[in-house]
Structure 1
């Protein structure tokens, strides 16, 4: 009888202990789900921002670990990119970013907005060299991009030409596609050029400057209307 009483007491202690552990476990789990960590300072080489399903939406990274980019859910081949932020849409495409750097050779920063399934169509950019090549350029630039030649097609085209290993044929193929507008064309720049002109420069669909409105480095004003060959139109 004494043995039975002792065993009952042990079972009671075990049941109470197990109940307390379970309660603490649920409290801790709830606390972890309902709160977030707070840091005063953190050193990290790369941060991936993802949705609940794991879809990548943004990468904040140093130069060494920077994301190479994506097109149609496919990661591009490794390439050198500066530190900054790269944005991705829900289709699995890179859709813009902010990169920057500055060293003994020069300085620069670019904020890009990409057209759907292809390259940038708008950039805020700044670049500056050093020493004898201290040319400073900054402003807003716009491009036109075709809908029928997405970035994935550009990558396949580039890979096929590299396999040919024929520089002459590659140059001709690029020139042909460029003439057809497959790589897009610059249409607009508002800012400061490398020779010190500040103004607006508008190009036609082939990327040729047709209108210049600017003030030069000597504070002289200019309004220039040009034909497709770059000659002034009266």
Structure 2
């Protein structure tokens, strides 16, 4: 009896070892059709989500998901930091309803526990489109909170302020706009579609107080 038990035990160990080796060996696939992929660390910390529009997640704070119905329009990727908190993402969408186009894409990188400080943005409504690099200020305070074990976005979280816009505006001008700490434009370099170029200085009300053109 002991002999047979030894055989059974030995077989079980062999099967377990083979299973572990198979699990550790990278798998190769020609094509995978999925609606969502979660990439996790060995300890289970979520680091990346790749998802279709219908399965795109909300925001994450230390591993807890916060509902974001406003994100239901796009597919994309969501990045999380070492603690499982949202740290940026890439989204894209595009469709035509009748004669109206609604499309675009956005790649963002966030400050720790806050919103994006760097964004690459493209939008298109059919008649007009824009593309830009946008740099923004964000506070050091967290935009998240946790009460009664439930994570949420603080309603009083700072909205931050845009500081730099470099891109093509919807009127097809090339623009470099610098803003102050409150987000108000104070200096603008602009080249119009017809080649007209100017540097505008603006006051805190947005009024142009001085313009420098090609003639000086």
Same fold (TM over 0.5): yes
Tell me which protein shows more helix as a share of its residues: 1
Equivalent runs, 1:6-25 vs 2, <5 Å: 14=4, 18=8, 21-22=11-12, 24-25=14-15
Please say if residues 91 and 105 of structure 2, whose CA atoms lie closer than 8 Å, have aligned partners that are also in contact. Answer: yes
Whether 1:205 aligns to 2:174 is: no
> For the pair shown, which has the larger CA radius of gyration, 1 or 2?
1
Counterpart of 1:94 in structure 2 is: 86
Whether 1:50 aligns to 2:26 is: no
- Displacement of 1:90 in angstroms is 1.9
CA gap 1:230/1:17 in 2 versus in 1, 3 angstroms = closer
Alignment gaps of 5+ in structure 2: 146-151, 211-216
Counterpart of 2:105 in structure 1 is: 109
Counterpart of 1:220 in structure 2 is: 196
Whether 1:74 aligns to 2:64 is: yes
Once residues 168 and 110 of structure 2 are traced to their aligned partners in structure 1, the CA distance between those partners, rounded to angstroms, is: 23
- Displacement of 1:93 in angstroms is 1.3
Equivalent runs, 1:144-155 vs 2, <5 Å: 144-148=137-141, 150-152=142-144, 155=153
The TM-score, its normalising length taken from structure 2, stands at 0.82
- Displacement of 1:20 in angstroms is 7.1
Alignment gaps of 5+ in structure 1: 1-9, 159-176
CA gap 1:74/1:38 in 2 versus in 1, 3 angstroms = same
Counterpart of 1:157 in structure 2 is: 155
- Displacement of 1:23 in angstroms is 6.7
Counterpart of 1:164 in structure 2 is: none
Once residues 78 and 17 of structure 2 are traced to their aligned partners in structure 1, the CA distance between those partners, rounded to angstroms, is: 38
- Displacement of 1:85 in angstroms is 0.4
- Displacement of 1:34 in angstroms is 3.7
Cα RMSD of the aligned pairs, angstroms, is 2.4
Number of equivalent positions: 198
CA gap 1:74/1:142 in 2 versus in 1, 3 angstroms = same
Once residues 199 and 57 of structure 2 are traced to their aligned partners in structure 1, the CA distance between those partners, rounded to angstroms, is: 43
Please say if residues 121 and 145 of structure 1, whose CA atoms lie closer than 8 Å, have aligned partners that are also in contact. Answer: yes
Once residues 102 and 114 of structure 2 are traced to their aligned partners in structure 1, the CA distance between those partners, rounded to angstroms, is: 28
Once residues 159 and 47 of structure 2 are traced to their aligned partners in structure 1, the CA distance between those partners, rounded to angstroms, is: 26
Regions of 4+ moved over 6 Å: none
Once residues 78 and 26 of structure 1 are traced to their aligned partners in structure 2, the CA distance between those partners, rounded to angstroms, is: 42
Tell me which protein shows more strand as a share of its residues: 2
Counterpart of 1:162 in structure 2 is: none
- Displacement of 1:233 in angstroms is 3.1
- Displacement of 1:232 in angstroms is 2.7
